[in-house]
Amino acid sequence: MAKNGNTETPARNIISNGTKIQGDIESDGDFRIEGIVSGTVKAKGKIVIGETGQIDGQIQCQSADISGKASVKLEVTELTILRATSQFTGDIITKKISIESGAIFSGTCQMAKTAVPSQQEIKPKS
């Protein structure tokens, strides 16, 4: 709860068509990509890559819904959806996956019962 008594809603962010970003992005909420991103995108919520969206790099999120082009290492704690218009190249680690007819998928997929922490999130024992 926020200090004023209202519940906080996670941020919803969008990178619109015609926008190009190079670098790393972190968000506490959801993220929609319609433009071009090169780098790492980390979100505590859902990442949507629209039909005009393109990403090259790494994604870490709770769920992913891909309709555009992705050339990434994808780590998802819940559900990954590759829509019919998607073109995915890379590696997927996810709890659940749905691949629609027409989707292009080239890479590997590892299904995990629980979230698999990335190497960056693993802290050494003291």
Q: Are 26 and 44 in contact (CB under 8 A)?
A: no
Radius of gyration of the chain (CA): 15
The backbone torsions φ and ψ at residue 56, rounded to the nearest 5 degrees and listed phi first, read -135, 115
Which tens digit of pLDDT belongs to each residue from 49-78?
A: 999 999 999 999 999 999 999 999 999 999
Q: What is the pLDDT of residue 13?
A: 87
Q: What is the pLDDT of residue 112?
A: 78
Residue stretches of the chain with pLDDT short of 70: 1-11, 114-126
Q: What is the pLDDT of residue 1?
A: 43
Q: What is the pLDDT of residue 115?
A: 54
Q: What is the pLDDT of residue 113?
A: 72
Tell me the C-alpha to C-alpha distance, in Å, between residue 48 and each of 52, 83, 121, 125: 11, 11, 23, 35
